[in-house]
Structure 1
Amino acid sequence: KSFLSKIESYNITGKQWVGSESWITQAELASDERKNILQGAIGFALPQASIPGLREFLLSLKPSDEPQSDVIKAFWEKFFDCSFSPSNTSTMCNGTEDLRTVSSDYTDVTYFRAENNVYKAVYLVAYALHALLQCRNGSNPITGKSCVTRNEVRPDLVLEYIKYVNFTTQNGAKVFFDENGDSVAQYDLVNWQMKEDGSVEIVNIGQYDTSVPEGEKFKLKENTEIVWGGNSIQVPRSVCREPCPPGSRKAINKRKPVCCFDCFECPEGTISNQTSPECFVCPPEFWPNEKKDQCFPKPTEYLSYKEIMGALLTGFGCVGIFLSLLTSIIFLTHKETPIVKANNSELSFLLLFSLKLCFLCSLTFIGRPSEWSCMLRHTAFGITFVLCISCVLGKTIVVLMAFRATLPGSNVMKWFGPAQQRLSVLTFTLIQVVICIFWLTINPPFPKMNMKYYKEKIILECALGSAVGFWAVLGYIGLLAFLCFILAFLARKLPDSFNEAKLITFSMLIFCAVWITFIPAYVSSPGKFTVAVEIFAILASSFGLLACIFFPKCYIIIFRPEQNSKKHLMGKIPP
């Protein structure tokens, strides 16, 4: 009471009190001044139960039953305001008064708490004595030990037999002890619900009983209203800090109690959920969502036909194939004309075929990388481009040989006739084929998930396998292109109305410029842009060869047919 008085003086209200068994049922602590303090107090109390037969026994008790008991005489005089000895202030007690007419704590025996434990303890000792004194055939049937007479009963023997006791009282309470010597724990969960006048109603809202199976030991009564501290119906939360939400981690503050911690957002690439207060890293193929409470598979990125850049490059590749096919048709329909014959029609048709393959091979770089597509795209690119450059190189040598053959006594053309031209193209191409075979045999390209460049997504790309093999393929193409450029440059000023060496020089200049700029762009471009740069280089160099070598001839064939004559080509008719 003195403690509650101090609480009153400091006006501490609205708190949730958790009472121990020693005071949670003491209704006399309640008062009008404390109703805002103790409202909603909750705690465990000894179970409330009635003792069968006790009321009838107490109410039937008479002083004549115990004439020597001063206690009975004292409370009898108090209840009936009488006296057993002569007195001028009160009437004489006759001992026949009826206790049923009195309302007091003595007569109110409906519910007991601590008294019920005394009742069970008495029965417990009685059952232990009964077990101890049993005797059959000279031994105790419970323990098998020798029989004990009433004169031999000792406290330690009673205590020994108490552990074998197991009974249920008349009010339904179970009494027994487990292997550790612990009795059944039975408690009521009570709630203080203050009234306006300051009195309290101690409401039983649940039970705790260890004698029932797991999961049923603690039960709250259904449809029972619980009042919490501050006269609230909301369940209070006794925490210094709410648990860290998903996506954050807990950090202990050394200056505060352990329950008062700080929450910080998980670092990039990590998550936390309700089952883990700490942040942990997602697997390599996964990335956190925005809330950082789940790991989701990283999106994959590759150059696809469905995106704008992939569709544009595909469109340019198809345009290149169409123009190459159209040029082939024009040359085929005019194959007997001087301008087609003068430029080695066989190599021209082979060059147009190789250009179609170059445009086609650019399409193999688009789409999801697979084991076969990775090997195909690089080898097809290397072989088709060598075939293309070999044809251009053959045409350049033919131009040089042709003008050498016009010198008196020269028979150089017999050393580089059609058979030698086919053989040179085949030889140059076979060298590249051998390089590609070695590359594919030793360490071929393969599909790879690149997770180093971007943290939040996976780049699907074709790893080179052997970098030496890749650069050997590119180096061989560059070597042939450089050789072709030198020879065409030397032949650019040879006399002729239509000197093809000039066109070859310009086409090789474009080809070399494209592939020289390709190298730094290829190395520095990230993700799918690396593939796009390579496709652009293939298309740009292929369009350069097609436009520089064939478009001028197609222009003459279609729009200037008068220039498509032997005399004009020999320079005998002025342009």
Structure 2
Amino acid sequence: MWPNLQQDRCLPRTTEFLSFEEPLGYSLAVAAFFSSLSPLIVLGVFIHYKNTAIVRANNYSLSCLLLLSLFLCFLCSLGFIGYPQTEKCLLRQVAFGMVFALCISCVLAKTITVVIAFNATRPGSRLRNWTGVRVSYCVIVFCVFIQLWICILWLLFSPPFHELDSDTKPGVIIVNCNEGSPTAFWCMLGYLGLLATISFIVAFLARRLPDSFNEAKYITFSMLAFLSVWVSFIPSFLSARGMYTVAMEVFAILSSSWAVVGCIFVPKCFIILFRPNMNSRDHLMGKGRNLK
């Protein structure tokens, strides 16, 4: 309860959380739902054109796994909208950390694959034994496993919990999820930043490889956009209050996921659907330009 201005009776406090009925929550939920369709559409395009040069040159299996992880990234943002129940508080940050670890691990694996594939073509290179999909999946499993341990330790020793905050805003009860251990939360988020930074550095160093392996350029831009979103998120997250704190995290999740989809997959889909003459082995190897 909260006293009125005359202080002669008590009034019930209003509660605040990012609800589906709120215009902000409704808008973010709609954006998350329709955004989650974009990786599935791209996945359908890749499956239909899986035998074409661009899809085969950019590691079909890893691309499909990355698209599925992006689908989960968009969907996990819906867990931040609605009444923060105890179960939701326990799972939403862990789900966010795990699916984004899978997503960025796939990007890192694609980057490493690009570098290995190029260097393996040199005469006498020992990297030919490392050009299979096993290396890529080992990188993904190793990176996701570290994030899994961070989340398990977080849940075991200081798990997130449901909280009613009556001190931040007078007369308003903010219903939110206390992260339990701020250190664990920032370790989880910092690990994602570390993976993205490594992917960016490796892709940046590989950006001048021949055009047939130019996926590194798209990965460089995607990781730069990803890191920019989350670096901008930190001060906004720390300064926002109430439901706007959650809204900022949802917006960062959607923006960073769109950065990966837009930078890595949109150029490929444009060529596949609208420039089929460029979707050939000769063009990827640079022969198509010489004929013009």
Q: What TM bracket, shorter-length normalisation? A: over 0.9
Structure 2 alignment gaps of length 5 or more: none
1:413 positional shift: 3.4
Residue of structure 2 in register with 1:410 after alignment: 125
Change (3 A) 1:315 1:291: same
Contact 2:163 / 2:175 at 8 angstroms: preserved in 1?
A: yes
1:297 positional shift: 1.9
1:290 positional shift: 4.9
Mapped to 2, the partners of 1:378 and 1:338 lie a distance apart of: 39
1:485 positional shift: 0.4
Residue of structure 2 in register with 1:224 after alignment: none
Contact 2:3 / 2:9 at 8 angstroms: preserved in 1?
A: yes
Structure 1 alignment gaps of length 5 or more: 1-285
Mapped to 2, the partners of 1:413 and 1:525 lie a distance apart of: 51
**Structure 1 residue 564 corresponds to structure 2 residue 279:** yes
Contact 2:114 / 2:213 at 8 angstroms: preserved in 1?
A: no
CA RMSD of aligned residues (A): 1.2
SS of structure 1 residue aligned to 2:211: coil
SS of structure 2 residue aligned to 1:444: coil
Residue of structure 1 in register with 2:217 after alignment: 502
Mapped to 1, the partners of 2:137 and 2:123 lie a distance apart of: 27
1:434 positional shift: 1.1
Residue of structure 1 in register with 2:28 after alignment: 313
- 1:120-131 paired onto structure 2 within 5 Å: none
Residue of structure 2 in register with 1:431 after alignment: 146
Mapped to 2, the partners of 1:470 and 1:324 lie a distance apart of: 27
Mapped to 1, the partners of 2:44 and 2:128 lie a distance apart of: 29
User: Could you tell me which amino acid in structure 2 is paired with residue 411 of structure 1?
Assistant: R
TM normalised by structure 2 equals 0.97
Residue of structure 1 in register with 2:183 after alignment: 468
Which protein is richer in helix relative to its size? 2
1:498 positional shift: 5.9
Q: Deviations over 1:136-163 (max 9, x none)?
A: xxxxxxxxxxxxxxxxxxxxxxxxxxxx
Mapped to 2, the partners of 1:565 and 1:411 lie a distance apart of: 29
Q: What is the total number of aligned residue pairs between the two structures?
A: 290
SS of structure 2 residue aligned to 1:364: helix
Mapped to 2, the partners of 1:424 and 1:402 lie a distance apart of: 15
User: Could you tell me which amino acid in structure 2 is paired with residue 392 of structure 1?
Assistant: V
Mapped to 2, the partners of 1:348 and 1:510 lie a distance apart of: 19
Counterpart among 20, 26, 38 of residue 323 in structure 1: 38
User: Could you tell me which amino acid in structure 2 is paired with residue 310 of structure 1?
Assistant: G
Mapped to 2, the partners of 1:472 and 1:311 lie a distance apart of: 30
1:357 positional shift: 0.6
Answer with 1 or 2: which has the greater Rg.
Answer: 1
1:560 positional shift: 0.5
Mapped to 2, the partners of 1:413 and 1:484 lie a distance apart of: 22
Mapped to 1, the partners of 2:145 and 2:213 lie a distance apart of: 32
**Structure 1 residue 551 corresponds to structure 2 residue 266:** yes
SS of structure 2 residue aligned to 1:452: coil
SS of structure 2 residue aligned to 1:573: helix
Percent of aligned pairs with the same residue?
51
Q: Deviations over 1:269-302 (max 9, x none)?
A: xxxxxxxxxxxxxxxxx11235532212211000
Change (3 A) 1:406 1:485: same
Residue of structure 1 in register with 2:199 after alignment: 484
- 1:124-523 paired onto structure 2 within 5 Å: 286-497=1-212, 499-523=214-238
Q: Deviations over 1:116-139 (max 9, x none)?
A: xxxxxxxxxxxxxxxxxxxxxxxx
1:555 positional shift: 0.4
Q: Deviations over 1:354-399 (max 9, x none)?
A: 0011001000000011111011110000000000000000000011
TM normalised by structure 1 equals 0.50
Decide which moves more: 419-428 or 358-367: 419-428
Mapped to 1, the partners of 2:144 and 2:263 lie a distance apart of: 23
Residue of structure 1 in register with 2:246 after alignment: 531
Which protein is richer in strand relative to its size? 1
